[in-house]
Amino acid sequence: MIIRALLLTLLLASCADNLLVGFGEDTNYLTFDHANSEQVIADVRARAEKLCKQRKQVAIKTASVCSLARCTTDYQCVDREEVIKDGL
């Protein structure tokens, strides 16, 4: 049953323009593999913000590396107090 759910998730994710490739409940880092376009970059940002908001945190972009066609972008979910304190 779990294998079917994982397989379905992978199949559906392969159809998406942006793919969350790294995220766990025990970590606050998100890694996305996505197309290099302004629309998709905005969609990835919105998705990171939504996932961090579920944890009552804010999304901070920590890295982004792009080729002409693809990007890998990292976000970190951070407590709002940390953002204010550190000026992020």
Q: How many domains does the chain have?
A: 1
d(CA 8, CA 3): 9
Q: Is residue 2 situated within a structural domain? A: no
Chain centre distance of CA 29: 8
Residue 53 lies in a domain: yes
Tens place of pLDDT per residue across the chain (88 aa): 444 444 444 444 444 566 777 776 777 899 999 999 999 999 999 999 999 999 999 999 999 999 999 999 999 999 988 777 776 6
Residue 39 belongs to some domain of the structure: yes
CA atoms of 49 and 66, how far apart (whole Å): 20
The residue segments making up the domain with residue 36 are: 17-86
Residue 48 has a CB neighbour count (10 Å cut-off) of: 25
Residue 28's SS3 state is coil
What's the pTM value of the predicted model, to 2 decimals? Answer: 0.72
